[in-house]
Amino acid sequence: MKLLSLLPAIEEALATDHSVVIQLVSTAEALLDRRLADLSAEDRAEILLDLSPREIVADYLDNAFPTRAMESYWDEDGNERSRPMVDEAGNPVHSQEALRIKAETLELLGALPPIVPALDAIISRFGTDAVAEITGRTRRLVTLPDGSQRLESRTANQSLADANAFMGRAKRILVFSDAGGTGRSYHASLDAKNQQRRMHFLLEPGWRADRAIQGLGRTNRTHQASAPVFRPVTTDCRGERRFISTIARRSSAGSTVFWRCPSRSRTPSSMNSWGWLRRGSMRLARQAPSMPASRPWWPTSWPSSRSGSCVRMPMAP
């Protein structure tokens, strides 16, 4: 559902000289392993798999769809209640109307087009030459231009190479998960070749707000050419919208605090090295996309400091 709006937004960001970072949680590797385990040796020679959750939903409907006929009765206290019907032999009685609706629903579900996982859909749309994948999965299924599929193995070195390709501007799209984003930075560093403003799409926040906020901090660091633009991707599901609002509220409430040592030089060059140490939680960028990327991030005024101590000072808005 989110891909219908995400993919055009990625193309728009690339057209406006942005580098795209997509944050997600699921990689569908477990589903791929189950599909591969069911294949024979002959089928593995020409792989053609459907990684959509259609079979899981079909199994759920087949086993959990209510088809038992119910009957009303009166208990000892005179209250009307209902219970499953049984025939004279004690066998359960099923409603023919419910069985018909169940069969029609399964037929409609089987006729739906396959729902591709988000990570595979992004790679299929833009290609492996443009997308850097930083996840924890060990193999992936790549769809070739002719429609055939190829199984590729993934290692930690390949993820590191993709991260370096993104920071070197060889690839302008990066997708990372919780397993692949630990301890890494994808911001517009002044030391990297790719200094384009990051367009950070929060596609799958997961179920822990602290991890989602930590993932947002991967593209918002010190010593960067421009602040990122965060864009959460949501649906009309009220539960998801409420969770996204919690993440946005915690992110906007957090402030980045700097500790300035009075003995250090007050020039901007020394602020990026020894004069400044970052403390506190991640701060969401308050810069609009239209603002110039050359706006200085350091404060324009300096508070008075006491000799021999460090002064706590928030970053300028």
49-94 pLDDT, tens digit per residue, is 767 777 788 888 988 899 999 888 888 888 888 888 888 888 999 9
| 178 and 194 co-located in one domain | yes
Q: Which domain holds residue 64?
A: 54-111
Q: Please say which residue of 234, 253, 272 terminates a domain.
A: 253
Reported pTM: 0.66
- Pair of tokens at residue 231: 């864009």
Number of structural domains in the chain: 3
In a domain, 39, yes or no: no
pLDDT tens digits, residue range 102-136? 999 999 988 888 778 888 889 989 988 999 999 98
Q: Is residue 103 part of a domain?
A: yes
Most confident residue range from 84-88, 99-103, 155-159, 246-250? 99-103
My answer on whether 22 and 76 are in the same domain is: no
Residue 176 included in any domain: yes
Q: Do 195 and 276 belong to one domain?
A: no
pLDDT of 44 over the 90 cut: no
| 7-42 pLDDT per residue, tens | 999 999 999 999 999 999 888 777 777 777 777 666
User: In the chain, pLDDT over 90 holds for what percent of residues?
Assistant: 26
Tens-place pLDDT, residues 273-304: 222 323 222 333 333 344 444 443 334 433 33
Mean pLDDT in the chain? 76
Beta-bridge mates of residue 277 = 259
Q: Is the same domain home to 231 and 140?
A: yes
Assess if residue 41 is contained within a domain: no
User: In terms of domains, do 101 and 143 share one?
Assistant: no
Report the percent of the chain where pLDDT is more than 70. 75
User: Cβ neighbours of residue 106 under 8 Å, at least 6 residues apart?
Assistant: 58, 61, 62
